[in-house]
Structure 1
Amino acid sequence: MTLSIDVRSRTTGEMVVVVRGDLGTATSAQLVGSIDALLRARPAAISLDLGLVTYADAGAVGALLQIQRNCVGVACRFNVERFSPALERTLASTGMSGALPRFP
C-alpha cells in the first residue's frame, strides 16, 4: 500500500493536505502523524483534499475522525475539500457520510 501526502500553504494561513493512494489500516498512522506535525505549528485551518485516494477502509474513517478531533483540540478549523469515490463508498458503508465537515 502506498500513500503520498503533499502539503501546501495558502496566504490565509490555511494548510491544504493533498492525499494520494491507499488510505487504510496500514497507512492511516502516516496521515495522522503528518497532520499532528502540522498542528504543532498552529495553522489557522487544515483542509484535506482526498480526491485522489484510490483505496479506503474503516481504518481511513478512523484516521479522519482522529484528525478532526486533534484539530478541534487545538482550535484549528478542519474540513475536507474533496472525497474520492472509493472514500465516499467507505464512508457510506460505515454510516459516516455526514461525519466530516465538507467545503464548500
Structure 2
Amino acid sequence: MPLLTETGVPSAGRVTIVLSGELDQLTADQLRTAVRAALQLEPTVLAVDLALVTFMDSSGLGAIVAAKRWCDNAGCSLSLQALTPAMYRRFQVSGLTDLFGLPEPSA
C-alpha cells in the first residue's frame, strides 16, 4: 500500500502532515518531500499525524529522525501525533522515545 501524505493549511504557526498507509523503504522519501515542503511554510510546529499508518519499518523511522533534524535546524519543533501502542513500541525499541519526548500512549 502506498503512503499518502496530506499537508494541512498552516494555522497559528502549526502545519500538520497526515500520513496514511505504509511508511517503509519504498515510501520514506514521500515523507521527506512532504516535510521539506511543509518547512517552506516556516511553521513553528510541524505535526506529523501517524494514526493512519498501517506499517513502519526502519526506513520510516529514519525519515522521521531526518524530519526532526530538519525541524531543529529550522527552529521548528516536530510533534508526532496519534501514535498507536504498536507504533509507540517501535519508537521505544529503537530508543527514540526520549528524542521525541513521546509519552506512553493509553491502551
Give the structure-1-normalised TM-score: 0.86
**Percent of aligned positions with the same letter in both sequences?**
26
Matches within 5 A, 1:42-53: 42-53=42-53
Could you tell me which amino acid in structure 1 is paired with residue 36 of structure 2?
A: D
Q: Tell me if structure 2 keeps the 8 A contact 1:54–1:84.
A: no
**Post-superposition shift, 1:81?**
1.7
Write 1 or 2 for the structure with the bigger share of strand: 1
Structure 1 segments of 4+ aligned residues over 3 angstroms from their partners: none
Give the structure-2-normalised TM-score: 0.83
Q: How many residues align?
A: 103
User: 1:16: which partner in 2?
Assistant: 16
Cα distance in 1, alignment partners of residues 11 and 94 from structure 2 = 36
CA RMSD of aligned residues (A): 1.8
Could you tell me which amino acid in structure 1 is paired with residue 64 of structure 2?
A: L
Unaligned runs of 5+ in 2: none
Range with greater deviation from structure 2 (91-100 or 68-77)? 91-100
Could you tell me which amino acid in structure 1 is paired with residue 70 of structure 2?
A: N
